A and B are shown apart, each in its own frame.
Chain A
Amino acid sequence: MESEIGESTSRPSCSVNGGNEAGDFECNICFELAQDPIVTLCGHLYCWPCLYRWLRLHSHSHECPVCKALVQEDRLVPLYGRGKTPTDPRSKPIPGFEIPNRPTGQRPETAPPPNPNDFSNFGLGATGGFVPMASARFGNFAMSAGFGGLFPSLFNIQVHGFPDATVYGSTSGFPYGYSGAFHGGHAHGFPQTGTQVQQADNYLKMLLLLIGVSVLIALIWS
């Protein structure tokens, strides 16, 4: 504990020097790594037992110890990390004073599951509408700007129900000769599969192909 407290064995003491690596996750009351961490709406982190004891036993007003903002117990946000230590030394130091469980998180509903029909709707109604979504999905390739021109045209094809090469040629979305040729090879394959399997499956397969092609382009370009 003397001078430099670098990476010592006990984690909390690491944060002693100004660097504060774990400091971001230290309770503002006990200064240890927060246990049963809970965050106020003003953004200040505490151990739940520390905050509870302060609010219920010691403070005169329900204020955040750091910034004095009003703290409402039902509006605290618990932080659920991965690990959970069952022994909490801070939860039972005072006999006869039980600390209840943390307030639970307020959980919004899950996002609705993706509906395959939506794709055709998208394609029919607004091809442009699909582009942001596509670029978001394939954003990892960092080429979304380049794809922007490609996607609308590809989805035009989808809308028209797997056209042959003539329809394909008539779409105007292929400004680049190189990529157009590249896609052309795949496009010719669609009618064959389309005749054998059901429409819904086709949409899926096409999407997969599209992804595959995008990956290929990404690999080539990078």
Chain B
Amino acid sequence: MSGTSAPSRKGLSKIACNRLQKELAEWQVNPPSGFNHKVTDNLQRWVIEVNGVPGTLYSNETFQLQVDFPEHYPMEAPQVIFHAPAPLHPHIYSNGHICLDILYDSWSPAMTVSSICISILSMLSSSTVKQRPTDNDRYVKNCRKSPKETRWWFHDDKV
């Protein structure tokens, strides 16, 4: 499992810290439905429980998302991966890496953990088939620890 990761080595900047505290407070007041964040002392790593939406392929399944924030969050995207076992999905690799453009090239500092979660749940919910990406084995064998170091190619906007 690609648990420990590069971005958590450097502490959060003051701006990042302030923003995360705001996001955390907002989450506590108004969490996105289907998600459960067990608040810890560690502001830099959030582990979030994801509940599959009833009526979709993932209903009654629960997954763990790990979100690691870089020093210059929100200028830089957080690193988001699934803990094992990652959901079976055409865009989610068995090592938990997620092929989703907003986590990499299309990141914007106006996005939040909450909005990321909703995007991921939407990606899960719109899936029509439970399978790994076609290049799963090759990717998992060769990839770096952090998906942020992968050169992603975003090609499928249906799921």
Contacts and interface: CB of A to CB of B under 8 A. Distances in A.
24 contacts: A1-B21, A1-B25, A3-B28, A3-B29, A5-B25, A13-B22, A16-B25, A16-B26, A17-B29, A17-B30, A18-B30, A31-B19, A31-B22, A31-B23, A32-B18, A32-B22, A50-B109, A54-B75, A60-B105, A65-B109, A65-B110, A65-B111, A66-B108, A90-B15
Contact of B19 (A30, A53, A65, A68): A30
A65 B29 contact: no
Interface in B32-88: 72, 74-76
A66 B112 CA distance: 11
Nearest to B76: A58
Given A28-B110, A65-B110, A66-B110, A16 B15 contact: no
B13 interface: yes
A63 B110 CA distance: 11
Interface residues of A, number: 28
A89 interface: yes
Nearest to A57: B75
B144 interface: no
Determine chain A's interface SS by DSSP, over half rule. loop
B14 interface: yes
Interface residues of B, number: 22
Given A5-B25, A30-B19, A90-B15, A68 B108 contact: yes
Given A54-B109, A89-B14, 11 more contacts: A1-B25, A16-B22, A16-B25, A16-B29, A44-B110, A53-B75, A54-B75, A58-B75, A58-B109, A65-B110, A66-B110
Interface of A: 1-3, 5, 12-13, 16-18, 28-32, 44, 50, 53-54, 57-58, 60, 63, 65-66, 68, 89-90, 93
Contacts, number: 59
Nearest to B74: A29
B22 A12 contact: yes
Contacts of A12: 22
A148 B23 CA distance: 56
B109 A93 contact: no
Given A29-B74, A65-B109, A93 B14 contact: yes
Contacts of A30: 15, 18-19, 74
Nearest to A4: B29
A28 B111 CA distance: 9
Interface string B100-139: 0000010011110000000000000000000000000000
Contacts of B14: 89, 93
B79 to A, nearest CB: 15
Nearest to B13: A93
B20 to A, nearest CB: 10
A30 B74 CA distance: 8
Identify the interface centre among B72, B74, B76, B105: most chain A CB within 10 Å of its CB: B74
A68 B136 CA distance: 32
Shortest 5 CB-CB contacts between residues of A and residues of B: A65-B110, A65-B108, A58-B75, A29-B109, A16-B25
Identify the interface centre among B21, B29, B109: most chain A CB within 10 Å of its CB: B109
Contacts of A17: 26, 29-30
Contacts of A3: 28-29
Contacts of B110: 28-29, 44, 65-66
Nearest to B30: A18
A211 B109 CA distance: 55
